[in-house]
Amino acid sequence: MSDTDDAVLEITGGTKLSGHVSVSGAKNSALVVMAGTLLCSQPCRLRNIPHLMDIERMGEVLLALGVKLKRDGDALDVNASSIAHTKAPYDVVSRLRASFFVIGPLLARMGVARVPLPGGCAIGARPVELHVRGLQAMGADVHIEHGTVHAYVPGSGKRLKGARIYLDYPSVGATETLMMAATLADGETVIENAAQEPEVVDLANFCRAMGARIRGAGTNTITIAGVPRLHTTDYGIIPDRIEAGTFLVAGAITRSEISLSPVLPEHLTAVIAKLHDMGGQVVVDGPSRVRYVPGSVIHPVDIQTGPFPGFPTDMQAQFMALMALCDGNSLITETVFENRLRHVAELNRMGADIRLNGNCAVIKGVPQLSAAPVLATDLRASAALVLAALAAQGTTTIQGLQHLDRGYDDLEGKLRRLGANIRRQVGDSAIAAAPLTESLLNSR
């Protein structure tokens, strides 16, 4: 049982928000960059690491492999000079899909890796065959036995070989696994139909800061010239575009003006375009600062999720909450994950009028949502319920906070500072995410 299983959030809606939000470092970058530190036998310092349960779990995976970690505020010192084990522990991998990312760097550096299959998750089956096929193309022998992926590099040199790899789908995780693996390979690797997400670019920049030779990250073709070893670096993670997008929607749904920094607007092009179409304005106040200015009406829009630069699946649930209050009908088509519309039932319990048809949701705008007890089903669904509750009449109680704490750094604190009426009611055994992160990462 998670420490937050018995906690609930109580939100009394209808309050206008105002003020400024400091956006944390990007969860998805931080997770993969932490895995990427396994590539380097010298200590590295990572900055702008958010305080999240997922980060703590990735820390547990690294600790289990023999890596030393020291948390210092938003910084994390990682010393992977000696890797004692090449098998990732099942109990952690099963709770954090991103921990599968260690397979690429472990294999590249040690010539061997054993990582349990991450299994399904709330939003879909999420297989890993693209990761596996790419590693095989680079010369790895990979087989799956008793639920664990066993991978090793045959031959005496234990070094992967550069290869030309075409991904059937621009998977973020597969692109990241293969890019990391290729940094230490013998020869050149080309990943075609690569994911172009900002987190892929961040990982490439981190690897380059350690001496990797990578071109084309952020386009659909990434070329990596392998080098024998990487060196120490001090690297700052990009701001979290999904956290920023969530707060922009908080502004929109409460018809409030709020400002955010640091934000890289080019990471939010699709989100900003849709907010404009819905009648709000996102004003860029500086190179890393934006401000949401509400319009008088929320107009309906249609959204189809897709790989970057398409509309992010990680913002779909939050937009659905906003569309629930539109002046007309909206349509959402989810193309990335097959089971990512489970928040529909909970939003309907709050008075929304949403019908599901396969991977499409038809949202008929209603004038008002009403508070209800609701259950968060996954990370972004939790955020959607928080947003809906901010606008709803009455006090909403949200259960299932373990999802929220996985991916939002102090969401309720940040909302409270904007004036939201939000509080966490904690059971006897519950502990806030941030202090736990500090204590665990420094304990071993």
**Residues 348-377, interacting with ligand UD1 (CB under 6 A):** none
| Of residues 126 and 417, the one with the C-beta less far from ligand UD1 | 126
Catalytic, out of 40, 44, 121, 360: 121
Residue 207 falls in the annotated catalytic set: no
Q: For residues 407 and 55, what is the distance between their CA atoms, to the nearest angstrom?
A: 9
131: contact with ligand UD1 by CB under 6 A:
yes
180: contact with ligand UD1 by CB under 6 A:
no
Q: Which stretch binds ligand UD1 (CB under 6 A): 127-135, 226-234, 325-333, 361-369?
A: 127-135
For 341, left (φ over 0), alpha (ψ -120 to 50), or beta?
Answer: alpha
| Of residues 338 and 353, the one with the C-beta less far from ligand UD1 | 338
Q: Name the strand (E) or helix (H) holding 291.
A: strand 289-293
Binder among 30, 92, 172, 203 for ligand UD1 (CB under 6 A): 172
Per-residue CA distances from 322 to 247, 338, 393 (Å): 12, 22, 15
Binder among 19, 127, 147, 435 for ligand UD1 (CB under 6 A): 127
Amino acid at residue number 156:
S
| Of residues 92 and 195, the one with the C-beta less far from ligand UD1 | 195
124: contact with ligand UD1 by CB under 6 A:
yes
Least CB distance to ligand UD1 at residue 428 (A): 32
| Of residues 128 and 375, the one with the C-beta less far from ligand UD1 | 128
Residues 193-232, mask of contacts with ligand UD1 (x by CB under 6 A): --x---x---------------------------------
Q: Cα(first)–Cα(last) distance of the chain, in Å?
A: 22
Binder among 3, 202, 314, 405 for ligand UD1 (CB under 6 A): 314
Least CB distance to ligand UD1 at residue 363 (A): 21
The DSSP secondary structure of 58-69, one letter per residue, reads HHHHHHHTT-EE
Q: What is the CA radius of gyration of the chain?
A: 22
**Encoded tokens for 284:** 């860029």
Q: For residues 236 and 213, what is the distance between their CA atoms, to the nearest angstrom?
A: 19
| Of residues 120 and 157, the one with the C-beta less far from ligand UD1 | 120
Q: Name the strand (E) or helix (H) holding 163.
A: none
127 φ/ψ angles, rounded to the nearest 5 degrees: -70, 170
How many of the chain's residues bind ligand UD1 (CB under 6 A)? 21
DSSP assignment, residue 266? G
31: contact with ligand UD1 by CB under 6 A:
yes
Residue nearest to ligand UD1 (CB): 173
129: contact with ligand UD1 by CB under 6 A:
yes
Contact 42, 81 (CB under 8 A): yes
CA neighbor of 441 nearest in space, from 70, 94, 124: 70
Binder among 207, 244, 336, 350 for ligand UD1 (CB under 6 A): 336
Per-residue CA distances from 427 to 52, 70, 308, 408, 415 (Å): 19, 29, 40, 20, 21
Contact 75, 47 (CB under 8 A): yes
28: contact with ligand UD1 by CB under 6 A:
yes
Active site residues: 121
**Residue ranges that bind ligand UD1, judged by CB under 6 A:** 28, 31, 98, 124, 126-131, 169, 171-174, 195, 199, 313-314, 336-337
